[in-house]
Amino acid sequence: MKRYVSIFIVLIVLVIGVFFVHQSSTSHLSMDIVNSIIKSKGINNVTWEDFEKYTYQDIGSGNYIYQYELPNGFYLYLSGSALDTPPTYIYIVDRNGNRIDLKK
Amino acid sequence: MKKFLSVIATMLTLTLMMSTVAFAANDTDDSVVYNGRSFKATELSQETLDWLEWYNGLSDDLKEMVSHEPLELASPTPCTTTTTVDATALDIDIPMPLETSLLPTSGYEPVYNPDYWNKDENIRRANCYAYAMDVLKTTEGKLQPGDPSGKRYTSLTKSAIEKAVKADGPYLGSGREITNSSKNATPGKNQYKVALVIAPNSDYHWYVQNRDGYWSHKQGYLKVSNVDASGKKITDPQSCDRNYGSGLNYSTFCGYYLVKYTNR
C-alpha cells in the first residue's frame, strides 16, 4: 500500500510541476493584467517597473517607448523621456493601427 | 487509506467532468453580446470575435475610449447621400524630378560614419538628439533636450523642444549654437543642418545632414542609418517616409535648424 501512496504522491507532484512550468512559459502580458495594474494603481501612478517582468522592445528614438505584445495583435506602449519618472503616455494600438490613449 | 485514495480519485474525476461540461457549454453557446445587442458568433468573422473578446475584457472607462468597431458590429444607419467626385478630376499630370537633388551643404557637416556610432561602447550613449548634436553621453542613456542646461523640456511640442535645445547649446560637447533655418539655406562655416520631427503624443526625432548631402539618423539605441522608413536613402527629411507603423509616425515636421560648432 505504501508503494501505491508514494507513486500517487509522485504523480501529483509531477502534475503540479507540469502545471507551473506551463503557466510560467505562457505568462505573457494580457489585457486582464493591464487592466488589473491600471485599476489597482490608478493610471497616473503606473510606473515602468510595473511591467518590467514582461518582454518589451524600446522603439523610441528621443524618448523611451516600451512596446509590449498583447494577444490578438494588440500592443501596449509606455512612453516618456525618463525611466525614473512615470511614463508620460500610456496607450494601446490594435491590429488596425487604432490608438486608444489610456494616459495622455 | 483506500478510502482516502478513492475520495481523491472521485474529486479529480468530478473536477475533470465539470471542466469538460463547462467547455461544452461554451462551445454550444454561439451568441455574443456587444453594447446590448446580440449576434450569432457563427455569423461573425474570427477577426471580429477576437476584437469582441478584447473589447469585453476592457473596463467601462476604457470601453468609452474605443473609437473603432468592426463593421460587422456597427449599428445600422439610415442610407444617406454619398458625395462623389469624377475620377477624371484626379487625373493630373504630376511632374517627377529627373534626378535626385540634394539640399545645399557647407562642407562642415559630420561625415556619415556608422561604424563609429554603432560600436558596442557607443551605441547606447547616443539617441537621435545626441547624434544630431554630434555628441556622446558620458554614460548610457537617452539625452533629452534641456538636460545639459538643467531644464528638461516638459511638453512634446516644437516650441518646448526648440527652446530647450537652444539653451543646451553651450553645454553640448565643446559648445554648439542652434538657430532656426530653412530647407534651401546653405550652412556657413562650422555649421551643418539638422531637422526635428514629432510623432504626436509619443516621441520626437532628429535627422542630420552629412557631408555627402544625404541625411542620416539614429533611432534611440538602434544603429545609425541613412535610409527612411521605406528603406530609401534620405535626401530631404521633410519628404522622406517617417511612418514606422505600430502607431509610431513622425508625422509632424517641425523645421530645419543650423548647428554651429562654436569652439572649432
Looking at this predicted complex, what is its ipTM?
0.74
Q: How far is CA B141 from the centre of its chain?
A: 19
How far apart CA B136 and CA B118 sit, in angstroms, is 12
Whether B232 shows a pLDDT value over 50: the answer reads yes
Residue with cell 505568462: A27
Task: Say if the Cβ atoms of A74 and B246 lie within 8 Å.
Answer: no
Taking CA atoms, B179 is separated from B158, B219, B264, in Å, by 13, 23, 17
- pLDDT value of position B55: 72
User: For residue range B17-67, what is the model confidence (pLDDT) as tens digits?
Assistant: 444 333 333 444 577 777 666 777 777 777 777 777 777 777 666 665 555
How far apart CA A73 and CA A91 sit, in angstroms, is 14
Name the residue ranges covered by the structural domains of chain A: 30-103
Q: How many CB atoms lie within 10 A of CB A101?
A: 13
Whether B143 shows a pLDDT value over 50: the answer reads yes
**Contacts (Cβ under 8 Å, ≥6 apart) of A55:** A28, A29, A68, A69
Q: Of all helices (H) and strands (E), which one includes residue B85?
A: none
User: For residue range B58-104, what is the model confidence (pLDDT) as tens digits?
Assistant: 766 666 555 556 666 765 443 333 323 223 333 344 444 344 689 99
Name the residue ranges covered by the structural domains of chain B: 2-73, 114-261
Whether B120 shows a pLDDT value over 60: the answer reads yes
Task: Say if the Cβ atoms of A94 and B142 lie within 8 Å.
Answer: no
pLDDT band at A2 (very low <50, low <70, confident <90, very high): confident
Optimal mutation site among B67, B137, B202, B250, interface A, most CBs of chain A within 10 A: B202
Q: Are A67 and A56 in contact, with CB atoms under 8 Å apart? A: yes
Pick left, alpha or beta for residue B52 (phi over 0 → left; psi -120 to 50 → alpha; otherwise beta): alpha
pTM listed for this prediction: 0.68
